[in-house]
Amino acid sequence: MKKMIKTLWDYLVLIVGGLLFGIAVEYVLLPLKITTGGFSGIATLAHYLLEIPTEITLIVLNVPAFLITAKFLGIKFGVRSFLGMLASSAGVVVGRKFGVLTSDMMLAALFGGLLSGLGIALTYKAGGSTGGSDLIAKLINSKAKHINVGEALMIVDGFIVAFLTVVFKDLEIGLYSIVAIYASSKIIDLILLGAEYAKAIFIITNKSEDMVKYIHTEIDRTATKIDVIGTYTKEEKDMLVCVVNKKEIPKLKEAIEEIDEEAFVIITNVTEAIGEGFKNKSI
């Protein structure tokens, strides 16, 4: 029953997050040609150049992206992300009924970035996404481990914003889009627990093998196992030390609770991570 309630709650959060993202795009950003990158940026171009409704473009682009990434990221992620995408498309329709929030470019960039970031963060916490460049970034990371998701996301979004700026022949649109992306990234960082680039997680447990299996297969990371002894109980346990991207923390915390409810967990900020899956080593 507890697991069923948790699943239903995740789906509710997914829907709310998707709706907020779609509303931010159609109600705040798109009327002023501002974008946070990703497929919403392509949808903005399609809207103004071809008069194609935003939600149609999002669905057409996202469906094949989901089919491809589900193979590498799992059915659970694929299903939840597909639901997030449908909710974001519905949010676009709702946002269109609201009209236009403001004609002030800076206000639209800031508020639109914050609102879209809130929507994206909620879908992350629920184990999915709103689709778009997140899926492409995750796919790039699965094929090129030296490029982390954050770096891949910056590359994809940066290219789309640059292309949109050139097509519309308006440098200000590109600059305000950068403001929107920055605002979006900050609210995502805040909601996903911490603004640092990476997190170190220490897991003290009696079920280290199950934990390691999950870390290896589900989030594609590695860990270090250390034998530890409690000073009070004198009980011997294993401590796993793992460094992960901040976006992987919600999923990992949920898995730890399912595998071992009695596990003792410490999560701390990492100011810099160098090695496979993070920054390249410099000599």
Asked whether the predicted pLDDT for residue 152 surpasses 80, the reply is no
pTM higher than 0.85 for the full model? no
CA distance 261 to 211: 12
Residues 12 and 70 in one domain: yes
Separation between Cα atoms, residue 278 and residue 263, nearest integer Å? 27
In the chain, where does DSSP find H-type helix? 2-23, 38-50, 54-73, 75-98, 105-125, 133-143, 149-168, 171-191, 208-217, 249-259
Same structural domain, 186 and 202? no
**Residues 183 and 142 both lie in one domain:** yes
Average pLDDT, integer, range 191-202? 70
Residues 186 and 247 in one domain: no
pLDDT tens profile 99-143? 999 999 999 999 999 999 899 888 888 887 777 776 676 666 666
| Residue range of the domain that includes 163 | 2-191
The whole-number pLDDT of residue 272 equals 64
Q: Residue 30: what pLDDT?
A: 93
Query: How many residues are recorded in the chain?
Result: 283
- Number of domains comprising the chain: 2
**Does residue 58 sit in the same domain as residue 121?**
yes
Where a domain ends, among 132, 161, 191? 191
Place of tokens 């609201």: 98
Find out whether 191 and 118 touch, Cβ atoms under 8 Å.
Answer: yes
User: Mean pLDDT in the chain?
Assistant: 84
Specify the residue for token string 């960039």: 109
Is 278 a member of any domain?
no
Provide the pLDDT for residue 138. 63
pLDDT in tens, 153-176: 677 788 889 998 999 999 999 999
Question: Domain for residue 277, yes or no?
Answer: no
Instruction: Quick: pLDDT tens for 70-79.
Output: 776 677 777 8
195 pLDDT tier (thresholds 50, 70, 90): very low
Pick from 149-153, 181-185, 201-205: least confident: 149-153
How sure is the predictor about 254, in pLDDT bands with cuts at 50, 70 and 90?
A: confident
Do 87 and 151 belong together in one domain?
A: yes
Asked whether residue 206 falls in the same domain as residue 257, the answer is yes
For residue 130, CA distances in Å to 15, 20, 176, 211 come to 10, 10, 22, 28
Shared-domain flag, residues 39 and 151: yes
Whether residues 179 and 235 fall in one domain: no
Do 153 and 256 have their domain in common? no
